[in-house]
């Protein structure tokens, strides 16, 4: 593997990565019946700080509830296990991946005999998700031929493993087409989200956060809305956004734990605004990065310090 995850927390114990093994007969491996989170810890003056740990753990439990997956720990136990995993590995900053899944008791399609869940927490060092160049110059998006699934097909509000077959198909095709990320539309052609990011656009100084019933409720999105309002911007939630609204926006950007705040400079071969990283986007990105690294006292409420 090229992932160096040090010690992994697996069903209550910290074990070396090579020893963190699961059965090839796990239900989740066959049917995608897992739920997970993506969290980041950032280096601060007082050691690593985990960004919005409580909200991520809450979303993990919501995802599990949607799948009727029983996590045999309390949210508080999972949160402490995450802190313990980061501390044990001694990372200054890292990405954190908690995962809960239906295990290997039964391979019938009904997952419930595999309750309670197996649970693991892995951590590793991970830089700019879409690459440094996308951050500086803005990412290129292409509309995917894969649509974001409606909520009566798959539970998009759950961060469930199987949902990411849709994301992975869209992402592979976007990269093959020379873009950095996929723009996913819903079945009617309205803008949903990226393969792993929520979308915003800026028009006449107003920030529009794209809202859609099929989107994952992003924690970065929520943070950026609060930051933007604190900076004095008007922020509106935008529903039923078509591609031409994005084509003619002044700025477009993406938010996500992995992608942080990434400007979008091109969509379907059309330059957005000036065709480079937008000014408001970069202002929001700057404050977001100050917030996550403990440089903004008003956002320290979002940090869990690993001491």
Alpha-carbon span 216 to 208, nearest angstrom: 17
* Catalytic hit among 137, 159, 203, 236: 159
Distance CA 181, CA 139 (A): 7
In whole angstroms, how close is the CB of 38 to ligand PMP at the nearest point? Answer: 5
CB of 198 to ligand PMP, least distance (A): 5
Annotation says 159 is catalytic: yes
Q: Which is nearer to ligand PMP, 44 or 166 (CB)?
A: 166
Binding residues for ligand PMP (CB under 6 A): 38, 167, 193, 196-198, 216, 218-221, 255-257
Minimum separation from the CB atom of position 215 to ligand PMP (A): 6
By three-state DSSP, how is residue 12 classified? Answer: coil
| Angle between helix 279-292 and 219-230 (nearest 10) | 110
C-beta of residue 259 within 8 angstroms of C-beta of residue 218? no
Number of other residues whose CB lies within 10 A of the CB of residue 258: 16
- Whole-number Cα distances in Å, 13 to 9, 82, 84, 96, 161: 5, 12, 10, 16, 23
Q: Which is nearer to ligand PMP, 103 or 224 (CB)?
A: 224
Shortest reach from residue 168's CB to ligand PMP, in Å: 11
Both structure tokens of 273:
């605004």
Annotated catalytic residues are 159
């Amino acid at each position: 593997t090229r992932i160096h995850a040090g010690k992994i927390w697996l069903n209550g114990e910290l074990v070396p990565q090579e020893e963190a093994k699961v059965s090839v007969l796990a239900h989740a491996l066959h049917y995608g019946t897992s739920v997970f989170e993506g969290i980041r810890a950032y280096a601060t003056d007082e050691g690593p700080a985990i960004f919005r740990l409580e909200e991520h753990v809450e979303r993990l439990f919501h995802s599990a509830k949607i799948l009727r997956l029983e996590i045999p720990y309390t949210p508080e136990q999972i949160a402490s296990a995450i802190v313990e995993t980061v501390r044990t590995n001694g990372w200054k900053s890292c990405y954190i991946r908690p995962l809960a899944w239906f295990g290997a008791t039964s391979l019938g399609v009904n997952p419930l005999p595999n309750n309670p869940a197996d649970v693991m927490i892995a951590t590793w060092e991970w830089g700019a998700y879409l690459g440094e160049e996308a951050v500086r110059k803005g990412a290129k998006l292409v509309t995917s031929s894969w649509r974001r699934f409606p909520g009566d097909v798959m539970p998009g509000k759950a961060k469930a493993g199987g949902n990411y077959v849709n994301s992975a198909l869209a992402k592979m095709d976007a990269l093959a087409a020379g873009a950095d990320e996929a723009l996913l539309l819903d079945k009617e052609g309205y803008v949903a989200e990226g393969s792993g990011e929520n979308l915003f656009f800026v028009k006449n100084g107003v920030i529009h956060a794209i809202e859609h019933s099929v989107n994952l409720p992003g924690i970065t999105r929520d943070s950026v809305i609060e930051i933007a309002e604190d900076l004095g911007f008007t922020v509106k939630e935008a529903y039923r956004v078509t591609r031409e609204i994005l084509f003619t926006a002044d700025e477009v950007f993406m938010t996500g734990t992995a992608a942080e705040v990434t400007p979008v400079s091109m969509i379907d071969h059309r330059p957005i605004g000036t065709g480079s990283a937008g000014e408001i986007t970069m202002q929001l990105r700057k404050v977001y990065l100050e917030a996550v690294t403990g440089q903004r006292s008003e956002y320290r409420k979002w940090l869990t310090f690993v001491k």
